[in-house]
Amino acid sequence: MAETTTTAYTEDLPPGSLITRDGQMQWAGLLMGPGTPYEIDRAGLSGWEDLPEYDASDADHPTAHGAWPGARYAKPRRIGGTVWAVPPQDDTASALAATRALRQALLLGDSERWLAVRLHGETLAVRARVSQRVLAADRTYTTQGVSRASVQWYATDPRRYSVTEQTAVTGAPQPETGLTWPLTWPLYWGQTASTGDVNADNTGSAPTHPVIAFTGPCTNPTVTDRASGRRLRYQIVLTPGDELVVDTAAGTVTLNGTASRRNTAAADSSPEELFAFEPGRAQLAFRPDTHDPGARMTVRWRAAEW
């Protein structure tokens, strides 16, 4: 079986890692916009700043006007735009190379990649796939080598995320050391090594799903968001070096990167998919039943925008 290679244009690079100025757009490993051979049409992008479509569970009043308001869930986001590949004049080789790069980058693939856009100093990104690509083989391309690509991306998660991932770490609660004898004035009551509490700020306008990692040694790791009242609790013993990773967006619970342990969720644990940080500040409390000083909780998240 022939070995499959991935070109630089299709590599899933960190979002916005190639962007250096306003107006640029990065799709996987391809940079487009000012300062590149790929100019974005003056019409810009459609669907980028729009609210996504949504499903609503409103229920009509049977004997009165109007309806009872229900939950609303956003549908996938569609983003469209036109890109012009403008090679140096009368350079047939460069024209072909630019077109081939677009073919390679704008492929029909199953895996989502980062699509990032920078406007007025703010870079936001979505996970998306190419759903449509039209490369015009018209007279302009034939005679001048200038190609036009109309592209549409399909993002199953409609939220746009900050390119900077934030991290918060806390150990399990540790008691104060207490008074030191013999007593001397002023009295020193000791300092708490860890409170087990940590804050997570979502500065965007949409809820965001964190990834939470519990590291042993501890039993029955539990985290509660005091702001929302949601809780994640797992009936499992973590030995030193064990790591239980909860991906709340994917709804997965994995021990040491391989074994699924979602079945260890306690009866009073919220569904993983519902454990999200609303816009504002989440107040997290790490409270395992028992623990040693090495136990800790690591939280990773990105601010999210509609």
Q: What is the pLDDT of residues 209-221, one digit of tens each?
A: 999 999 999 999 9
The CATH 2.60.120.860 portion of the chain extends over: 166-305
pLDDT of residue 181: 59
Which band of pLDDT confidence, cut at 50, 70 and 90, is reported for residue 5?
very low
Q: What is the pLDDT of residues 62-117, one digit of tens each?
A: 999 999 999 999 999 999 999 988 876 666 667 788 888 888 899 998 999 999 99
- CATH T-level fold of 25-162: Elongation Factor Tu (Ef-tu); domain 3 (2.40.30)
Indicate the length of the chain as a whole number.
306
How far is CA 193 from its chain centroid? 32
**Is there a contact between 210 and 303 (Cβ–Cβ < 8 Å)?**
no
Q: What is the pLDDT of residues 120-155, one digit of tens each?
A: 999 999 999 999 988 887 777 777 777 888 999 999
pTM for this prediction: 0.86
The CATH 2.40.30.200 portion of the chain extends over: 25-162
Q: What is the CATH number of domain 166-305?
A: 2.60.120.860
